[in-house]
Chain A
């Protein structure tokens, strides 16, 4: 999302779904996982909208859909790419929109070579480094700074240029492969060289439109049928439904969730959807857009204010290690000439002022040097490897349950068994807190409790009713929850825990003159506390996140942030949430008393906009594309943008505005640059910068797949996917290789309405446990017959990582598909259970491998091959022996599935 449009958040809001004429839900089981949000889909249906659900299983969402399309897991790019091809072939794209608001007319440099030219990979592949050099993907005329995603690529580019111009020593080495890679959730801004060439006739052979057209031309209905197992008739019906419900008068919305992200090529799934929505002209318009449905109360918030290794608040990248880097170099590498990322220096300086206050001065680069630096990817999965290697010794697990909820659960536990100390904060004794005494490895004898050196602390957590604070929901909206009671006994909020931990550490370090302690001792850490337990004031923290000026007055907008250190702001995109000293997130004007947009309920970033890029809801001249879909438009008399929402545009900038030569930042945006964060102000069909695995999506098979890649027969898997061959993380043989037949079925993991993720907030509750009391697997009657599985009986499911047992649910809802001339059986595995709690069961993540999307570092748990057999799994040492037997039978070695280039 970030790379295509500029910001890493849902582009619309849930209530706006009611305005859609068609809704495509794919990679999401919205009725089950977001039931209350689904009411807006039902509203749309009541108004006559068509609901299309694409999912391997027939779920509770499918039951309410007008069209359900069963799909082979891991093939959504082929399916969506097929629709892109249909849209272009049938001239069904929204021509005026595409020319005005996308980079379709932009000319790409001659150096770029597509998968069409290079047999399934893009130009710039460095097989030794397992990475792409994106230099050849640029627009003609020079590099473009990515709005989000892998800005580090550009950093290298820019510094190379600087060296070329300024001479001097070579200051750094290319670091794309080793560096922490792109972040797909970015909010960003971008610049484009003034000389970008456009051909608005879309005829130039190197214009983006023609490249996209060529790239997707092989995604024919015949190919979709072969790859995805979707009959052509059904596929074409979806194509017609989408195109007939897009254009001036009609809009189609898309909703996805982790069914798209949890793949080794997951970010490109979303990219394909973005291309489609741009071609159909559905972005920035009511009833359109792409709604990312997130699974946790504040998962959007925890990327905006990131507990993520590669980001600082507001999607400012964490600095990477470079020789002698200073703030200037960092800003130059990360900011942009045009668009709102032009303000990077003021965002960064204001953040440093919020953290180090008076200690951050112009003279010391505002304490820029206090920031630790990255030297590669340090995602949670690399951290597990570092634990196993003995490098990472202390671990905080707060409100999360990796021993059940993370891919390859055994590796998670083994990593924790190698720590010096572990802190777990939760409501109950979840598996991540007790694995050392009752985890699966204790049962198999792989670990003995007495041998485990890890010191473990369990702290009881406070509930949402016991603390003040804000969640950012799936539509970028902050909502405040008020404490109703004080937490009992030793239960405490994370706010309390981290504030007091920091306070105690600072007290212990007080007086230290060691340079390494200065960032801790000079940290601004004086929050007022309240109540019997000395709870820090959440509102005081929110005020710091919002920021203040030199006189301590709350800021109203990030446009007020300065580069000179006179403003402080903890998260620039949240600036305005505490404007005038009033907690905007706590606004609760009843929905019935407001317009359907409800702008006075909570506060949405950026600047309380509910549909972003909404400039695109009007044509180039600022008139609504149609009265039916009017949202924001240019009012000639008032000389400003008006409408139902806050314009995502300079309100006084006319549609005909052309920036003066030499303008920078937001000033450089023209009157029809609707995607204001992007370097060229356009929605990106083609991504010249910001992604690690190619400027366009390409279908690659999942890491563990029994099928050859029919789309690119000489490139089986994403060449730059992240793989880790370890003793407990072996991959399956590719199609046609000896042993691949050992794992003939595809497994997919998912959630149920009745439970919550790894179960910490549901498996301990009797009212939820009784609704879905046990781990089960869903199989078709055909598979049940093939493998002798009995409905209501037990099955054992096996991969090269682990073996689990599950009750058997035989159902027509998981239909076998005909793929490449044979029947494929898919097996459904809800992943909520673990050995603790009230409702117990084996964890599906015992089966999952760790192979990651190279942009987001998200694991591939939606598609993996495996085997199933009747009966319960073996106990004790026999459990490990069974996995070892499968590894032996399949001929799996440390090299299996590790190739970069190749067909199989």
Chain B
């Protein structure tokens, strides 16, 4: 250690005679930079939990989200967040998230990992098959042009654009049992 960094010497030179302040600051402490200050990118977002719609600021470093906090510009939330909103970093980057597609065969006792492309193809096949098998042109003599074989639940946690594509695709497929948490 450089003699100039000796605490006793620093106590004298800094005027921190008690040795409780500037004299004992470690070099790590000296170098402290909050991750909101050295983020590569700051992205504006909206809290995904309830419908208050709090503004969020997302800090990105090395293509990873490193911090999420309230956006003080928002006239609704004025930079504040509740405990859930404050946990957004753990929600989006925490250990609990899964990143692989899983498949359970009929009657199987456990999951198998499936690649995404295969899984998408399989789901498309299931939709086409079920749609054909359950297609109705008429019910009680009235034209219905639909399938009652396919249903969907979810949407209130999703974006408007996502809900729009869902409704558009399902309707074109003739599926009508499309619902979301609004009723639940």
Give Cα distance in the complex from A381 to B116, angstroms: 31
Is B20 part of the binding interface, using a Cβ–Cβ cutoff of 8 Å? no
Is the pair A427, B181 in contact by a Cβ cutoff of 8 Å? no
Residue from A325, A433, A501, A859 within 8 A of B124 (CB atoms): A501
Complex interface bits, B44-72 against A, C-beta within 8 A gives 1, otherwise 0: 11111111111110101001110010011
Is A127 part of the binding interface, using a Cβ–Cβ cutoff of 8 Å? no
Is B101 part of the binding interface, using a Cβ–Cβ cutoff of 8 Å? yes
Is A482 part of the binding interface, using a Cβ–Cβ cutoff of 8 Å? yes
Is B161 part of the binding interface, using a Cβ–Cβ cutoff of 8 Å? yes
Is the pair B123, A457 in contact by a Cβ cutoff of 8 Å? yes
Q: Which residues of A contact B150 (CB under 8 A)?
A: 392-396
Give Cα distance in the complex from A218 to B56, angstroms: 50
Is the pair B121, A478 in contact by a Cβ cutoff of 8 Å? no
Is the pair A483, B43 in contact by a Cβ cutoff of 8 Å? yes
Is the pair A373, B145 in contact by a Cβ cutoff of 8 Å? yes
Q: Which residues of B contact A875 (CB under 8 A)?
A: none
Within 8 A of B (CB), among A280-319: 293-309, 312-313, 318
Q: Which residues of A contact B165 (CB under 8 A)?
A: 494-495, 498-499, 502, 536, 541
A43 → chain B closest CB, angstroms? 10
Is the pair B84, A295 in contact by a Cβ cutoff of 8 Å? no
Stretch at the interface among B4-12, B21-29, B73-81: B73-81
Q: Which residues of B contact A469 (CB under 8 A)?
A: 158-162
Give Cα distance in the complex from A544 to B160, angstroms: 12
Within 8 A of B (CB), among A412-427: 420-421, 423, 425, 427
Is the pair A457, B119 in contact by a Cβ cutoff of 8 Å? yes
Is A92 part of the binding interface, using a Cβ–Cβ cutoff of 8 Å? no
Q: Which residues of A contact B72 (CB under 8 A)?
A: 590
Q: Which residues of A contact B179 (CB under 8 A)?
A: 307-309, 379-380, 383
Residue from B56, B85, B99, B149 within 8 A of A490 (CB atoms): B99
Which partner residue on chain B sits nearest A601 by CB separation?
B75
Give Cα distance in the complex from A660 to B134, angstroms: 53
Which partner residue on chain A sits nearest B99 by CB separation?
A489
Residue from B58, B63, B182 within 8 A of A308 (CB atoms): B182
Complex interface bits, B156-183 against A, C-beta within 8 A gives 1, otherwise 0: 1111111111111101111111111111
Is the pair B43, A753 in contact by a Cβ cutoff of 8 Å? no
A724 → chain B closest CB, angstroms? 14
Q: Which of A370, A400, A452, A767 has the largest number of chain B CB atoms within 10 A? A: A400
Give Cα distance in the complex from A830 to B157, angstroms: 20
Is the pair A423, B123 in contact by a Cβ cutoff of 8 Å? yes
Within 8 A of B (CB), among A361-412: 369-375, 378-383, 386-387, 391-400, 402, 405-407
Q: Which residues of B contact A486 (CB under 8 A)?
A: 63
Q: How many residues of A contact B (CB 8 A)?
A: 171
Is the pair A380, B184 in contact by a Cβ cutoff of 8 Å? yes
Is the pair A307, B180 in contact by a Cβ cutoff of 8 Å? yes
Give Cα distance in the complex from A754 to B82, angstroms: 9
Which partner residue on chain A sits nearest B138 by CB separation?
A321
A683 → chain B closest CB, angstroms? 24
Q: Which residues of A contact B180 (CB under 8 A)?
A: 299, 302, 306-308, 400
Q: Which residues of A contact B17 (CB under 8 A)?
A: none
Is the pair B51, A294 in contact by a Cβ cutoff of 8 Å? yes
Q: Which residues of B contact A378 (CB under 8 A)?
A: 148, 176-177
Q: Which residues of A contact B144 (CB under 8 A)?
A: 321, 372-373, 375
Q: How many residues of B contact A (CB 8 A)?
A: 123
Q: Which residues of A contact B18 (CB under 8 A)?
A: none
A483 → chain B closest CB, angstroms? 7
Is A500 part of the binding interface, using a Cβ–Cβ cutoff of 8 Å? yes
B127 → chain A closest CB, angstroms? 6
Stretch at the interface among A158-166, A503-511, A627-635, A651-659: A503-511
Q: Which residues of A contact B164 (CB under 8 A)?
A: 305, 313, 541, 544-545, 570-571
Is the pair A15, B142 in contact by a Cβ cutoff of 8 Å? no
Is the pair B78, A591 in contact by a Cβ cutoff of 8 Å? yes
Residue from A298, A370, A494 within 8 A of B51 (CB atoms): A298
Is the pair B142, A321 in contact by a Cβ cutoff of 8 Å? yes
Which partner residue on chain A sits nearest B152 by CB separation?
A396
Which partner residue on chain B sits nearest A520 by CB separation?
B172
Is A136 part of the binding interface, using a Cβ–Cβ cutoff of 8 Å? no
Is B97 part of the binding interface, using a Cβ–Cβ cutoff of 8 Å? yes
Is the pair A296, B51 in contact by a Cβ cutoff of 8 Å? yes
Within 8 A of B (CB), among A1-29: 13-15
Is A796 part of the binding interface, using a Cβ–Cβ cutoff of 8 Å? no
Is the pair A39, B80 in contact by a Cβ cutoff of 8 Å? yes
Q: Which residues of B contact A302 (CB under 8 A)?
A: 155-156, 158, 160, 163, 180-182
Which partner residue on chain A sits nearest B62 by CB separation?
A485
Is A484 part of the binding interface, using a Cβ–Cβ cutoff of 8 Å? yes
16 A-B residue pairings within 8 Å (CB atoms): A302-B181, A306-B180, A307-B154, A308-B179, A313-B164, A371-B171, A427-B91, A437-B110, A458-B111, A464-B48, A471-B53, A472-B160, A490-B99, A500-B120, A519-B174, A764-B96
Extra 5 A-B pairs, beta carbons < 8 Å, given A299-B182, A501-B124: A297-B47, A307-B179, A321-B140, A437-B109, A471-B48
Question: Which 8 A-B pairs rank lowest in CB-CB distance, beginning with the nearest?
Answer: A469-B159, A473-B53, A591-B75, A307-B155, A372-B146, A398-B154, A598-B75, A764-B96
